[in-house]
Chains A and B, each alone.
Chain A
Amino acid sequence: MRVPLSWLKEYVDIGDISVDELAERLTLAGLEVVGIERIGDWWDRDKIFVGQIVRVDPHPNADRLTLPTVEYGGPEPITVVTGAPNIRVGDVGQKVALALAGAVLIDGYSEDRRKTVLKPTKIRGVRSAGMVCSERELGLSDSHEGILILPDDAPVGMPLADYLGDVVFDLDLTPNLARCFSIIGVAREVAALLGRPLKVEEPTMEATGPSIEGQIDLEIADPDLCARYTAALIKGVKIGPSPWWMQRRLTLAGMRPINNIVDITNYVMLEWGQPLHAFDYHVLRPRPGKTHPPAIIVRRARPGEKMTTLDGVERQLNEDMLLICDGAGPVAIAGVMGGLESEVTEQTTDILLESANFDAINNRRTAQVLRMNTEASARFGRGIAPSMTVRAARRAAQLMRELAGGEIAQGLADLYPRPQQTVGVTFTTAEVERILGVRMSVDEIVDILRRLEFQCRVEGETIHAAVPDHRLDVRIPADIMEELARIYGYDRIPSTLLADELPPQRRFHQLETEEFIRDVLAGCGLQEVITYSLTSLEVEGRLYPEGESPRPADYIRLANPLTSEREYLRRSLKAGLLATAAANLRHTPQVSIFEIGAVFEPVEGELLPREPMRLAMAMAGPRQPLAWHTPAPENMDFFDLKGVIEVLMERLGLDEAAYEPAQEMPFLPGRAAVVRIGEDVAGIFGEVHPLVKERFELPSVPVCLAEFNLDLLVRSAKRTPYVESLPRYPGVAEDIAVVVDREVPAEQVRKAIMEAGAPLLRRADLFDVYQGPQIPENKKNLAFSLLYQAPDRTLTDEEVRRYHQRIVQHLEKTLGATLRA
């Protein structure tokens, strides 16, 4: 909403408050000023004036130039040269904007609206002491066809900045501020904020024509969508341009002047906030079978109905849309836009003026479906008080009489099936203190509310406030609290820390464990990333084997995606992490990343999906950065990622985590594993299959990827370890090397060793795996470092030998292992 200050001042005296201060007061009160346009603030008061042409002579050397002599209040009139087509030889009396040499103006011929200093020049041999200015040269508009002609009553000699300079506030209004979509609405707020009177009179009209009775056949067929329909009839208007002052205000407010009738409807809408529509009375048809009077019927559209709106577009209507119809068919989409047929034209003489009230929700929906966000629907869609129709009708009719020479029919046609009820809100001073935390007296409260035009009745500490009819947004005491707070000033409300009872405190174990995992992984050198939840099936599909693709039914899909890349909700973090790795590997040699986030799984028969949490990791590139001490670092592989996973399992107290070979996409067979915790699969990890790498445009180095069911990890984690006492007696270290079949997993051998060595064997650490010469084919040699230790004594050599022997025998028996010398 654009609010010219000069217009605002017509309704409220702002005194000596500066523009910036007023803007801040409005902003703090909820009418956010997002821009202040200062028109003419750069016009030099000593060099640019309102002037009057006293004579226009021909230019001796050029047909297309003229020499106006202009009176401007200086010692004597000056003569300038102009090429303006709207100044002709012999003209006299026009008011113009005169700039003297030295004035700064916009170069009317520059593309970028550059400012230049006006110098005295000779044009085709004639000296020009100044310039008569176009709108573009003054920065008022782009118009450069002719010079700006000011109204006849413009005072000669007044600095133009004082006459034409203005300030326009650009307000960004929240949906509750429907009442401020008008200059009077804003003025009312300013008056309340400043404690000054609002200078607005109830509009009246001088109706001298025959009564409207019998001249219009009005019917509201759907009163649920039309609370009121008011019409005035103005006959004998003469269509033409509206006066300069009205055009100027419309332009400043951001609307384009059209003709006097249309401009008046727009002007009154801007002034009062009530949209109006002017029909050409003679185009309106009576009901079928009748010859008179023309009919207006407010009804819902019929199935398949169409109409062509003012902008020349044919609109397909639906049965939820409210129409204004005449006896033959639709003439307007109610509160959105008029129809082309009944539009006011040059030939129009008689006007039927509509001032109606339409249902806000229905109007908004219609405007949205038709994608027609008009000035009218912007206002109806937010809600307007039905009491407003009569005021606006009278005001517009009177202006049509004054500015278009029309005669107003006596009376108004006014159907009002659902009269507005006065709303009362009752509250106490204690309620004000309970919500705002500040004690206000009854007098203070009543003063604020009266400034906002509430009628207050006081009973002790109780206040009964009658809400003014233009305030549709105030219904309950909480609404009154906001009115009090914003006028009283939020800065005057004290600041306190919560002193209320402390609620029962609970720990949030899930989050605590998640945060712990984040720290563990960062400690392992992994960088956390956060990728989008929204993805595409194309990207998800890169994880699948060739020929297979993800099933859309497994995914949640947006009904209104922004782009096809962000159409589906992810079911895993894998693709996002690989894409992130690929993007980074283009400029960074090494990537170690992890992500914790929700994935989305539709559930048959349920409205909402499951949102399990996942943890994923990806690692690729050199193990150490290239450095003077590591000139040829090796690339990370399966075991680098497994090391991280082992640390994580250990830190989560998940000693029982077991690893089994896995064979599924997107992993490379033979270099992938699932992680089991008891019966449950907690996650899967491994090196990524070359086909998948190719689809993600990953480089040739091994790329490791893992994904875990985070909820399972959190559920299984044992965050509180039982601490064992430190050993008090020395241990005995021994090595053992055994040859077993190649297929026997090392972990199985280690477990067998631990079993046989119990309880004195404390550790068995694999330190060598060997296959090759000296070992039979299909066999491998595993070497373990063993530690024997007893809690209560120093072990004897004999004891250790006995245990060692037992281990060897057990391995031979259970795994067919042989001892290697």
Chain B
Amino acid sequence: MTADLHELEQRASAELAQVSDLQALEQWRLRYLGKKGEVTLAVRSVGQLPPAERPAYGKLANEVKGRLEAAYEARLEVLKQEEVERALRAAAVDVTLPGRRPAVGRLHPSTQTLREIYHIFTQMGFQIYRSREVETDEYNFELLNMPPHHPARDMWDTFYINKDVVMRTHTSPGQIHVMRAYYPEPIRAILPGKCYRYEQVTVRSEHMFHQVEGLAVGKHITMADLKGTMIHFARQMFGPERKLRFRCSHFPFTEPSVEVDMDCILCGGKGCSLCKHTGWLEIAGAGMVHPVVLRNGGYDPNEWSGFAFGMGIERIAMLKNHIEDIRYFFSNDLRFLGQFH
């Protein structure tokens, strides 16, 4: 009889070793350890034995049951683990598949550049002031010290609505507007907006573009302040290592007038096609506000002084983002606009 028990244990152990999933394990358990399982029955069959054999057989039968139960538990643990792993494997994804993206919108590069400029100048106490795009000849030219037929008017190719009304050629009329609005306060203002020129559209020129004018009027404002402000701007905008030079120039509404050049961001001043081999890039026109303009704004030039500057937003963006064609800005091809962050 004990031989039968050994044979049963061997057989059950061998079968258990073959079990590879939880379902087969449950069948195995039912067959051997269930209520009607062979091992359970064998244990129960002890009563039918002669009393002398009962202790030995009973002990062995319980030992066999105990060992098989332990083996079952161990096997169950292993199979559960395997099952979990299998489930995980089945749920794994190809992490290189593209994700589900929310719709993404961006701001136009001119807007992004304007915002950067706003940030830099508002930190210095400049406030944003806007004025109209269709201007009188008076504001666009005359009050800026350019009477009719002044030779400097040739510097701006102008769209006329009629002899008294023009598309503003620069944001400079805003100087007069802001002075008349704020007099007699000191002023630090930047004046952004669209400007228009009678110019053929080419890679380098557009008939519409954005400009930002800057104006500071106070009782102690000097050319040195203009220099410092422009250097601060250039370094914030283009990097702390930037160098500027100030070159004498001419605008009827500033005296003295300067062009502000920055060392070329591409070649660092050695000369390349971007800087037309000069090593310098023109970034702004500037100067001390002409006494006539101050007076036209309501400020006594003997008491007040001021500086003004103007720069083209698309030009700044082109330099910063290495854009080679200004026409990209207003043709609004999404393949261009989508490249900005």
- Residues of chain A touching chain B, judged by Cβ–Cβ distance below 8 Å, are 27-30, 32, 174-177, 360-361, 364-365, 381-383, 433-438, 476, 478-479, 481-482, 485-486, 490-491, 493-506, 508, 511, 515, 518, 521-534, 556-562, 566, 569, 580, 583-584, 587-588, 591-594, 597-598, 600, 607-609, 611, 624-625, 627-630
Contact = CB atoms under 8 A, between A and B. Distances in A.
A30 B287 CA distance: 13
List the 4 closest pairs (A to B, CB-CB), nearest first: A525-B103, A437-B222, A437-B224, A30-B248
Contacts of A525: 102-105
Contacts of A32: 247, 249
Contacts of B127: 503, 505-506, 508
Given A436-B223, A533-B208, A611-B132, A524 B103 contact: yes
Contacts of B4: none
B51 interface: no
Given A30-B249, A533-B196, A569-B134, A478 B291 contact: yes
A775 B327 CA distance: 58
A556 B160 CA distance: 11
A481 B105 contact: no
B229 A497 contact: yes
B241 interface: no
A437 B186 contact: no
Nearest to B260: A490
A497 B124 CA distance: 9
28 contacts: A27-B247, A175-B155, A434-B222, A435-B256, A435-B305, A436-B224, A436-B256, A437-B223, A485-B256, A493-B224, A493-B227, A494-B224, A497-B229, A497-B232, A498-B225, A500-B186, A505-B125, A508-B129, A511-B128, A525-B105, A526-B105, A528-B337, A558-B160, A560-B198, A607-B164, A627-B100, A628-B97, A630-B100
Contacts of B105: 521-528, 592, 594
A515 B335 contact: no
Contacts of A609: 134
A418 B203 CA distance: 49
A588 B334 contact: yes
B281 to A, nearest CB: 14
A511 B117 CA distance: 14
Contacts of A482: 248, 255-257
Given A557-B161, A607-B136, A534 B208 contact: yes
A727 B87 CA distance: 41
Given A494-B224, A498-B229, A583-B332, 12 more contacts: A435-B222, A482-B257, A502-B186, A505-B127, A525-B105, A528-B106, A528-B111, A532-B207, A557-B161, A559-B161, A594-B105, A609-B134
Interface in B84-98: 97-98
Q: Which of A360, A478, A557, A583 has its CB near the most chain B CB atoms (within 10 A)? A: A478
Contacts of A531: 330, 332
B49 interface: no
Contact of B165 (A174, A498, A607): A607
A526 B334 CA distance: 11
Contacts of A499: 220, 225
Nearest to A175: B151
Contacts of A505: 125, 127
A192 to B, nearest CB: 12
Given A524-B105, A530-B108, A478 B256 contact: yes
B221 A518 contact: no
Contacts of A511: 128, 130
A590 B110 CA distance: 23
Contacts of B256: 435-436, 478, 481-482, 485-486
Q: Which of A481, A533, A561, A591 has its CB near the most chain B CB atoms (within 10 A)? A: A533
B44 interface: no
A586 to B, nearest CB: 10
A382 B246 CA distance: 25
Contact of B159 (A558, A598, A628): A558
A28 B335 CA distance: 41
B115 interface: yes
Nearest to B152: A175
Nearest to B332: A529
Interface of B: 97-98, 100-108, 110-111, 115, 124-125, 127-130, 132-136, 149-152, 154-155, 159-162, 164-165, 167, 182, 185-188, 194, 196, 198-201, 207-208, 216, 218-225, 227-229, 231-232, 245-250, 255-258, 288, 290-291, 301, 305, 329-335, 337-338
A560 B160 contact: yes
Contact of A591 (B115, B136, B334): B334
B194 A533 contact: yes
Nearest to B276: A34
A526 B337 CA distance: 11
A437 B225 CA distance: 8
B30 to A, nearest CB: 44
Contacts of A630: 100
A480 to B, nearest CB: 10
Given A476-B291, A498-B124, A592 B103 contact: yes
A476 to B, nearest CB: 6
Contacts of B111: 518, 528, 530
B224 A608 contact: no
A587 to B, nearest CB: 7
Q: Which of B182, B186, B219, B256 has its CB near the most chain A CB atoms (within 10 A)? A: B256
Contacts of A591: 334
A257 to B, nearest CB: 29
Contacts of B220: 434, 499-500
Nearest to B129: A508
A479 B216 CA distance: 20
A531 B208 CA distance: 10
Given A528-B111, A628-B97, A481 B255 contact: yes
A552 B136 CA distance: 21
A188 B152 CA distance: 23
A174 B104 CA distance: 47
B98 A527 contact: no
Given A28-B248, A436-B223, A591-B334, A364 B108 contact: no
Contact of A436 (B128, B162, B222, B332): B222
B151 A360 contact: yes
A502 B167 contact: no
Contacts of B198: 560, 562
Contact of A502 (B110, B125, B154): B125
A612 to B, nearest CB: 11
A435 B256 CA distance: 9
A723 to B, nearest CB: 26
Contacts of A476: 255, 291
A176 B250 contact: yes
Contacts of B186: 500-503
Nearest to A30: B248
Contacts of A569: 134
Given A364-B151, A558-B159, A490 B334 contact: no
Contacts of A526: 105
Contacts of A518: 107, 111
A534 B197 CA distance: 12
Given A382-B151, A486-B256, A30 B247 contact: yes
Contact of B249 (A174, A528, A559): A174
Contacts of B224: 436-438, 493-496
B306 to A, nearest CB: 10
Contacts of B187: 503
B331 to A, nearest CB: 8
B229 A530 contact: no
B334 A527 contact: yes
A497 B228 contact: yes
Contacts of B227: 490, 493-496
Nearest to B103: A525
A597 B133 CA distance: 11
Given A435-B223, A534-B207, A365 B165 contact: no
